[in-house]
Amino acid sequence: MNLRHCLAALALVASITGCATTENANPRDPWEGYNRGMFQVNETIDTVLIKPVAISYDFILPEPIRILVTNFFSNIGDVMIGVNDLLQGRGEQAFNDLGRFVINTTLGFGGLFDVAGNAGWYKNDNDFGVTFGRWGVPSGPYFVLPILGPSNVRDTFGWAADIAASPIDLVVNDPTAYYTLWGVRFLNTRANLLPAEKIIEEAATDKYSYLRDAFMQNRLNLIHDGAPPPGLDTSEQTDEPAAGQPEKTSAEPKPADVGAGTQ
């Protein structure tokens, strides 16, 4: 069983585990008891193991090298971003995102350099969870996945689809190379979050609630291109586009800098 199947199984187990609704539950977070417990487990694992390794990675690798690694995985992510653009009927955005991949893969030495971003081809964020949301699939309750963190029912299955359709899974057959790539991607992503973590620690009185609300709002904005219909907020359990609501072709474009985050 490869990483794809293991992670998909993990997501399914977490979905089932969280199905006990607590009495007088927060409508945004009916499984809060389980979620807070899993959040603490994740925090402990991160503090003891993942964060120290990420700090060492960040310290040992010079910043220019870390930027190249980030760009490489960001370029791979543009493939699935473009596929989801097409599934959502966003032709112009798909042209931009798949065009980024072609330009960066050829002129950017396999995606190590963000040539397209420097030329004005803006970086988007898209995935199967967003696609399902735009197709009208309700988000379902919020819950925290083991190790992976904030999610909801729809985004968990969307995340499993992202893994299953990843170019890494489809192209890399050697087990050593396969797990090395996923490990480096995970570690690089965690290292890139270190500066943001300091801000969260300073701003949040309740880190759990802060991350939950930020996750919900971010997913809502992605599905509605940054402009949710009036009256729709993160307290609602469904965030699919409202009937008759005009849809934009993309979020507000913004140039991707050389060190854009991974997808």
Instruction: Name the pLDDT band for 249 (thresholds 50, 70, 90).
Output: very low
201-228 b/e (C-beta count within 10 Å ≥ 16 → b): eeeeeeebeebbbebbeebbebbbbeeb
Instruction: Name the pLDDT band for 69 (thresholds 50, 70, 90).
Output: very high
Examine the pLDDT at 68 and tell me if it is beyond 90.
yes
Close Cβ partners of 165 (under 8 Å, ≥ 6 residues apart): 80, 83, 128
CA separation, residue 76 to residues 30, 69, 112, 161, 248 (Å): 36, 11, 10, 15, 25
Examine the pLDDT at 121 and tell me if it is beyond 70.
yes
Mean pLDDT score of the chain: 84
Q: For position 7, what pLDDT does the model report? A: 54
Whole-number percent of the chain with pLDDT over 70: 78
Examine the pLDDT at 26 and tell me if it is beyond 50.
yes
- Output the six-digit token pair for 64: 């220019």
Structure-model confidence comparison of residues 99 and 238, the more confident one: 99
Q: How far apart are CA 87 and CA 91, in angstroms?
A: 9
pLDDT (mean) for 114-136: 96
Q: Which residue has the tokens 């190249």?
A: 68
Report the range of poorest mean pLDDT among 22-31, 32-41, 51-60, 158-167. 22-31
Q: For position 194, what pLDDT does the model report? A: 94
The letter for the amino acid at 121 is W
- Backbone phi, then psi, for 150, in 5-degree steps? -60, 140
Contact 138, 154 (CB under 8 A): yes
Q: Which residue has the tokens 């690089």?
A: 188
Whole-number percent of the chain with pLDDT over 90: 68
Q: How far apart are CA 55 and CA 190, in angstroms?
A: 9
Q: Which residue has the tokens 């930027």?
A: 67
- Output the six-digit token pair for 33: 């008891």
Close Cβ partners of 139 (under 8 Å, ≥ 6 residues apart): 133, 152, 153, 154, 155, 219, 237, 238, 239
Report the range of poorest mean pLDDT among 56-70, 75-89, 198-212, 226-240. 226-240
Q: Where are the beta strands (DSSP E) in the chain?
A: 142-145, 149-152
- Output the six-digit token pair for 132: 């399902």
Q: Which of 75, 85, 65 is closest to 106 using CA atoms?
A: 75
Q: Which of 108, 99, 111, 106 is closest to 185 using CA atoms?
A: 111
Report the range of poorest mean pLDDT among 102-116, 130-144, 218-232, 246-260. 246-260
Examine the pLDDT at 127 and tell me if it is beyond 60.
yes
Q: For position 254, what pLDDT does the model report? A: 41
Residue 187, burial from CB neighbour count under 10 angstroms (0-12, 13-18, 19+): middle
Instruction: Name the pLDDT band for 105 (thresholds 50, 70, 90).
Output: very high
Q: For position 152, what pLDDT does the model report? A: 96
Structure-model confidence comparison of residues 252 and 91, the more confident one: 91
Contact 154, 139 (CB under 8 A): yes
Examine the pLDDT at 240 and tell me if it is beyond 60.
no
